[in-house]
Amino acid sequence: MKKPTILFIDDQKSARDLFSRQLDPERFRPLTAPGVLAAEEMIRQEAPDVIVTDLRMPDIDGLDGLERFHALDPELPVILITAFGTVETAVEAMKRGAFDYVRKPFDTGELEIVIDRALGHRNLLRENARLRSEVARKSASDDIICRAPAMMSVMDLAARVAPSDFSVLILGESGTGKDLFAKRIHQLSNRATAPFVSLNCSAIPEHLLESELFGHEKGAFSGATNARAGFFAEADGGTLFLDEIGDMSPNLQPKLLRVLQNGEYYRVGSRRLTKTDVRLVCASNRRIEELVEKGQFRQDLYYRINTVRIALPPLRQRTEDIPLLVEHFLQKLRKTFPHVPSRLNAQAVRHLLDYGWPGNVRELEHVMERSCLVCDGDELRADDLPPEIRGTASSGVAVAERPYKDARRDFERNYFLQLLASAEGNIQKAAELAGIHRSTLYEKLAALQIAVERE
């Protein structure tokens, strides 16, 4: 650890020399200044940790000096040295923010004790400031709301891998929070102050993706009127988030693999290698193993991006998060909507818990928005929910006018979603509860378009 720097101010050279000689060189680095003005300069240049000053100064009154020091560094502890008869002024100085005073004549051991206390005080202030900014950073970052044990362990995993440079692959159905987690990993990493650059591989036409990623030289292809740095260059030192990585074309995959292996790449139209220091986070809502089996995704690339895998469970497998998320979204809506109900009635809650949420948290957010638009009371009721959420079974609406086929499908979908919820997503357990074979259950789920992870 660096030795703390102690700045001693006294107009007499003999006093300054004595201080420099007597202060324990093992523990402190002494600096001296003959007056307030010279001390100000030193505060700017040397950033001392503690100031020890005589209250009587030739150039500027000690009390004014105190204010000037604090203008430069508000948390700098100032210890005053007082001669007989100036104690009252010292007390006044402490009211104005001096840390403590020592009476002349003092011995160095006594002074060092006060210095130690001042340093402790300063560290505490610094620690508080650090915590404050950390809390501010955390609450500024997008909140991830969850309580379900499956999500808590995912949160924990994300926090543990964030500070490393491991590639992270985030898997999960649409709307489960993959973007949110990618950002969280960046925010919790040592790269938090560097850029977070995100690119959706499926949103960009194949022929443009390469130059978007790696940049290009001017004139590299028709239309390339200007050179472009590319996303790898933009994310240098930070995190690159490649969303829908499963959609990356087979032509581009070896190029991405090379960057991951060697940390360098060619810009389109250039023969010079460009170095890069980027942490990669990828996401996909498709099962990449299947793409690997089908030969659509390179196995070696898959291993590279999959150093750590974070699988976000679908919302129907963590229904205990639903009430929390509902509250979170209502609070969010209060900032922009003229009218937001303060509570939900029991039946509305029942529907929200029973529904299968194919669009996961994003769908829940939209449902809350739409429901708040139609709700005019202080309580959100089942009728305010969109029809697909209300389902048919428990709402008591006449269902006889619908084709048997549709009604059965609704019933089955509802049944299997609740079954999965009761079995906490465990297929074997769900099959046992339903008294059917695993493979039959898989077929049913596929026919009803209920997505599950194959075990």
Rule CB under 5 A: which residues touch Mg ion? 178-179
Contact status: 246 vs ligand ATP (CB under 6 A): no
Phi-psi region of 166 (alpha: psi -120 to 50; beta: other; left: phi over 0): beta
Q: DSSP H helical segments within 35-177, as ranges?
A: 36-46, 62-72, 87-95, 108-140, 149-161
Number of residues that bind ligand ATP (CB under 6 A): 19
For ligand ATP, the binding residue among 10, 247, 354, 365 (CB under 6 A) is 365
Give the pairing type, strands 168-171 and 196-200: unpaired
Contact status: 314 vs ligand ATP (CB under 6 A): no
Q: Could you tell me if 36 and 66 are in contact, meaning their C-beta atoms sit under 8 angstroms apart?
A: no
Cis peptide leading into residue 105 (ω within 30°):
yes
Q: Could you tell me if 200 and 208 are in contact, meaning their C-beta atoms sit under 8 angstroms apart?
A: no
For ligand ATP, the binding residue among 178, 191, 351, 444 (CB under 6 A) is 178
CA distance 267 to 263: 13
Contact status: 72 vs ligand ATP (CB under 6 A): no
Which strands make up the sheet holding 279-284, listed edge to edge?
196-200, 239-243, 279-284, 168-171, 308-311
Residue 285, binding choice from Mg ion, ligand ATP, none, Cβ under 5 to 8 Å by partner class: ligand ATP
Contact status: 174 vs ligand ATP (CB under 6 A): yes
Nearer to Mg ion, 178 or 279 (CB): 178
CA distance 280 to 248: 15
**CA separation (Å) from 68 to 45, 74, 141?**
15, 9, 37
Nearer to ligand ATP, 267 or 316 (CB): 316
Contact status: 180 vs ligand ATP (CB under 6 A): yes
For ligand ATP, the binding residue among 175, 215, 238, 356 (CB under 6 A) is 175
CB-closest chain residue to Mg ion: 179
Q: Which of residues 387-416 bind ligand ATP (CB under 6 A)?
A: none
Nearer to ligand ATP, 78 or 148 (CB): 148
Token pair belonging to 355: 């529904």
Contact status: 146 vs ligand ATP (CB under 6 A): yes
Question: To the nearest whole angstrom, how small is the minimum distance from the Cβ of residue 319 to Mg ion?
Answer: 22
Residue 436, binding choice from Mg ion, ligand ATP, none, Cβ under 5 to 8 Å by partner class: none
Question: To the nearest whole angstrom, how small is the minimum distance from the Cβ of residue 358 to ligand ATP?
Answer: 11
**What is the torsion angle, in degrees rounded to the nearest 10, for the CA atoms of residue 69, residue 71, residue 72 and residue 74?**
90
Residue 50, binding choice from ligand ATP, Mg ion, none, Cβ under 5 to 8 Å by partner class: none
Instruction: Classify 46 as helix, strand or coil.
Output: helix
Contact status: 366 vs ligand ATP (CB under 6 A): no
Contact status: 184 vs ligand ATP (CB under 6 A): no
Q: Could you tell me if 417 and 450 are in contact, meaning their C-beta atoms sit under 8 angstroms apart?
A: yes
Candidates 14-22, 124-132, 172-180, 416-424; binding stretch for ligand ATP (CB under 6 A): 172-180
What is the contact surface with ligand ATP in residues (CB under 6 A)? 142-146, 172, 174-180, 285, 325, 328, 361-362, 365
